[in-house]
Copies of this chain bind each other. A is one copy, B any other.
Amino acid sequence: MQLTILIDSGSSETLQNQIIRQMQALIRDGQLRPGTPVPSSRELSKQLQVSRNTVAEAYGHLLEEGYLCTRRAIGTFISDTLPEDAIATRTNPMLSRSPSHRRAVNLPLPYTGRGLPGLHRPIDRALSHDFSLGKIDPKSFPDKTWRRLTLECLGGAAERMSEYNDPAGLPQLRQLIANYLGPARGMVVSPEQIIVVGGCQQGMNLAAHLLVGSNTPVVMEAPCYRGAAFLFESYGAKIIPVPVDDHGLRVSALPAQGAKLACITPSHQFPTGVTLSMDRRLALLDWVCRQNAYLLEVDYDADFRYEDSPLPSLYALDRSGCTLYMSSFSHSIGPGLRLGYLVVPRSLIRAATTIKALIDNGQPWLEQAVLTQFIREGSLLHHLKRIRHTYRSRRDALIAALQRCFPGSRVTGAESGSHVVWRLPPDLPPADELKAIAHASGVGVYPLGDSPSWFHEDYPECERILLLGYTLLGEDQINDAVERLHAALAKGDPSGPASLEP
């Protein structure tokens, strides 16, 4: 610890006094907080290039005054109870030379984006049964394998932590992702096209930095993910909302001209859960091509497809080189990993790599190294198969329980992903009321309006839609939760079918 004490050897003040006065100021101003250890007199004398005696005497004085205290065999610390005058005056004499005493109250703030209190809620521990969105089950995390691979990788830590790695990502990881995308998503890509990023949000940011400027018209699905819309707005985008129906984005409602970018979630639309149909995929690509625009495909939840085969990605269908493809490992391994990848068309490789270097110069080495081994040894495919199976059973249990307890429920968006859209039957109260009743009995359910979505006000019957994530709960818990909800509703509403009140 080096202290910000300045010795002026030309001053008429003794060296000892200079140290005392400045230490007092540091303590008074809170820069040295109670309980903080101070350097040994030997250390400080070396730093200040004064004799050890001078420092020892200054320390002695401060000890006497009560600014410092010693703990035997440990060292010297700032006192927990300071002399009263220290608390009385909180001005730093070192700073008195500063001419800038005015407080600049009208500083310009060019960024005027929307505030958002956090895109992802923390887990609500008060709920015994939580159908929260975008979480993954800690029990599904491949704990043992991850630990083993981390230990293996740490063997090379000294070398690899000590240098800057390729800002676009570890070459082997990019190669393995390219290999994966062929069979899994129908995409023929070379490793150079892959930029390793810190999750979907950062991939979208990279695309935005590249393609969106002040007043750039950007097409978004309505409803869409709020984190994407606000991000584009923070670059000055003009958002053009285009409605989503049961087949995904209504391509016929796209603007005839002017759009420069469209951001789409085709595999499992957020938040409605619908899959963009093949006809619409082709029509969308045709539109993008005619516009001379770019398409940003956010392949949200694509790893979890439960019925038939995944459709080829828009990237795979695109013949015009206008699609950027984004995916992440947040839903398959965990959001704490902060790893994903953006695939860019060949024409954008140089620009995207430059931007990645400029905005953060690459992801941390260790996570990338561990993920590389995880994919290489086949553990990722194995893990995906295992959790796909788990999530499918949970989804089935949820749908069955809803149909059993609440006949007439319409559940959509269940073909893939990690949440379903529950359209409430007419005899149930609106989503907001139902949420309050459910939360009171420890069951977390989430109205569309509460989710991190945007432009949902015009979505048909939006106030009668709940989003239920089914990744956190086992099948028995899911049954329990739906039955609890049913009981709570019956209790609250005497006309309910299974009312306990006579």
Contact = CB atoms under 8 A, between A and B. Distances in A.
Contact of A157 (B116, B143, B366): B143
A146 interface: yes
A144 to B, nearest CB: 10
Interface stretch (A26-34, A57-65, A241-249, A421-429): A26-34
Nearest to A165: B336
Given A289-B100, A357-B118, A95 B317 contact: yes
A217 B286 CA distance: 41
A89 to B, nearest CB: 15
Interface string A184-202: 1111100000000111011
A116 B354 contact: yes
A379 to B, nearest CB: 13
A442 interface: no
A347 B107 contact: yes
A430 interface: no
Copies of the polypeptide in the assembly: 2
A495 interface: no
Contacts of A420: none
A335 B103 contact: no
A75 B156 CA distance: 33
Contacts of A5: 309
B151 A260 contact: no
Contacts of A150: 150, 154
A230 B354 CA distance: 10
A135 interface: yes
B336 A3 contact: no
A178 to B, nearest CB: 9
- For the residues of A in contact with B, the DSSP-based class is loop
B135 A162 contact: yes
Nearest to A260: B108
A179 B7 contact: no
Interface residues of A, number: 143
A97 interface: yes
A282 to B, nearest CB: 6
Given A7-B309, A146-B157, A182 B36 contact: yes
A198 B363 contact: yes
Interface of A: 1-7, 26, 29-33, 36, 38, 47-49, 94-95, 97-104, 106-111, 113-116, 118-120, 122-123, 134-141, 143, 146-147, 150-151, 154, 157-167, 179, 182-188, 197-199, 201-202, 205, 209-214, 216, 227, 230-231, 234, 236, 260, 278, 282, 285-286, 288-289, 292-294, 305, 307-312, 316-322, 333-339, 347-348, 350-351, 354-355, 357-367, 381
23 contacts: A6-B308, A6-B309, A7-B308, A7-B309, A38-B183, A94-B312, A95-B317, A99-B285, A102-B289, A109-B211, A111-B209, A111-B211, A113-B358, A115-B354, A134-B164, A138-B162, A143-B158, A146-B161, A147-B154, A164-B336, A198-B364, A227-B357, A338-B363
For the complex of A and B, the 5 pairs showing the least CB-CB separation, nearest first, are A161-B334, A202-B360, A161-B336, A120-B164, A336-B365
